[in-house]
Amino acid sequence: MIFRIIESQLADDFYKGKAILLWGARQVGKSTLLKYLVEKNPPALYMDADLPDVQTLLKDASPTTLSKVFQNHRLVVIDEAQQIANAGHLLKIITDHLPHIQVLASGSSAFELQNIMNEPLTGRKFEYQLFPLSWEEMKNHHGLAKEFQLLPHRLIYGSYPEAVNHYLEEERLLRLISESYLYKDVLIYKGLKKPDKMRDLIKALALQIGSQVSCHELGQIVGMKSDTVEDYLHLLERAFVIFRLPSFHTNQRKELTKSKKVYFYDNGIRNAVLNDYRPLALRQDKGALFENYIVSEMLKKDRHNGTYSNLYFWRTRDQQEIDLIIQKNGFLNAFEIKWSNKPITPPKTFAKQYPDHAFKLIHSENYFECL
């Protein structure tokens, strides 16, 4: 098993009177991690809420019934908790009436889960997100030298656990993940009337990673209204397929204020959407793939460290730009992300407006220093 960084963070929050919620896309390793925690922290009970008998057992259960179900287990893990009716109220009952039990619940359809969890569990939960495997996790597993050599592989096939653990089977497994699992939460969502349009939108986004996206322009490409595009983008974010970076600005007239850039959480999924696994030497999008990888890894690092910084890009109307800005406590770390190691300096406008900043070029030979 590849050690997941949040394993120790989850364990540190056990028995503090809160439910623990673990979010993440399908196939990122939630069940594997939860089963490992069950084995490591006895007496513990693992319950798969995809199973009908588990759903029946936990539906509208009273504290007395739950006490009988859980018996002497101190840790209760409920995997895919969104499958249980009134899951939020179930976790509230456990937290309020069975305080000797630590409940840990996972879920992949964030737009469902968060709606049913937030109100009942206000003030009663700790929340975590599990990402595809991170650079740090892979470096800890393989060693720095080997993982550094695998950068081209990561840019093409990404870091989903199955793709990492099954060499030479990556294309087949990524196709399975993208077609059968990843969009399931989005495409079956009630109210989603045009699944084909959603697939077209995802492909359009895959072709524009690292670029500013306009709902109006995307709507013209896929044949949807701008408001519908925005709704679909929101769903894709909540299902952990993509994330967006807003533009950084301080009311300077030349700075862009409302633009956003779109990235995929995983390069392999992005390439699976386009069915494009060509090696880097044959690709025109090598720079975009590298930028997507670095931005997603910087996001993982920030969340794993628990710093929860603000991530932005910066651009002016005359096209001066910086790929990534990380803001924390008023301080700016600015990063330009290029495959080439050719030296560059920050744009003069940025340096003048924000003199108290740090600037670094991230390229294919030094990227590990930032991750």
- pLDDT score recorded for residue 317: 84
Same domain as 123, residue 28: yes
- The answer as to whether 229 is a domain residue is yes
Instruction: Name the nearest CA neighbour of 133 among 153, 105, 114, 113.
Output: 153
For 148-207, how does the pLDDT look when each residue is reduced to its tens digit (9 = 90+)?
Answer: 999 999 999 999 999 999 999 999 999 999 887 777 777 777 667 677 888 899 999 999
Per-residue pLDDT, averaged over 304-325, amounts to 92
Percent of the chain residues topping a pLDDT of 90? 80
For 22-63, how does the pLDDT look when each residue is reduced to its tens digit (9 = 90+)?
Answer: 999 989 999 999 999 999 999 999 999 999 999 999 999 999
Same domain as 122, residue 30: yes
3-state helix, strand, coil in the chain (%, to 5): 45, 20, 35
Q: Are 21 and 109 in contact (CB under 8 A)?
A: no
Same domain as 349, residue 214: yes
Q: For the domain that residue 32 is a member of, what is the CATH number?
A: 3.40.50.300
- The answer as to whether 79 is a domain residue is yes
Same domain as 160, residue 123: no
- pLDDT score recorded for residue 190: 60
Q: Are 367 and 287 in contact (CB under 8 A)?
A: no
Q: Is the pLDDT of residue 255 over 70?
A: no
Number of domains comprising the chain: 2
Same domain as 76, residue 200: no
- The answer as to whether 1 is a domain residue is no
Distance separating alpha carbons of residues 267 and 264, to the nearest angstrom: 7
Whether the bond between 43 and the residue before it is cis, its omega within 30 degrees of 0, is yes
Q: In which residue are the tokens 């309020």 written?
A: 96
Same domain as 148, residue 103: no
Same domain as 170, residue 115: no
- The answer as to whether 233 is a domain residue is yes
- pLDDT score recorded for residue 166: 95
Domain that holds residue 337: 135-369
For 204-219, how does the pLDDT look when each residue is reduced to its tens digit (9 = 90+)?
Answer: 999 999 999 889 999 9
- The answer as to whether 47 is a domain residue is yes
Instruction: Name the nearest CA neighbour of 113 among 123, 125, 101, 102.
Output: 125
Q: What is the mean pLDDT of the chain?
A: 92
Percent of the chain residues topping a pLDDT of 70? 96
Distance separating alpha carbons of residues 102 and 113, to the nearest angstrom: 19
Same domain as 125, residue 217: no
- The answer as to whether 238 is a domain residue is yes
Q: Is the pLDDT of residue 254 over 70?
A: no
Same domain as 207, residue 66: no
DSSP, collapsed to helix, strand or coil, labels residue 313 as strand
Please, which pLDDT band fits residue 253 given cuts at 50, 70 and 90? low
Same domain as 184, residue 100: no
* Domain end point (choices 107, 129, 151): 129
Same domain as 217, residue 84: no
Instruction: Name the nearest CA neighbour of 102 among 60, 35, 41.
Output: 41
For 61-105, how does the pLDDT look when each residue is reduced to its tens digit (9 = 90+)?
Answer: 999 999 999 999 999 999 999 899 889 999 999 999 999 999 999
Q: Is the pLDDT of residue 256 over 90?
A: no
* Domain end point (choices 73, 99, 129): 129
Same domain as 348, residue 284: yes
Q: For the domain that residue 360 is a member of, what is the CATH number?
A: 1.10.10.10
pTM: 0.94
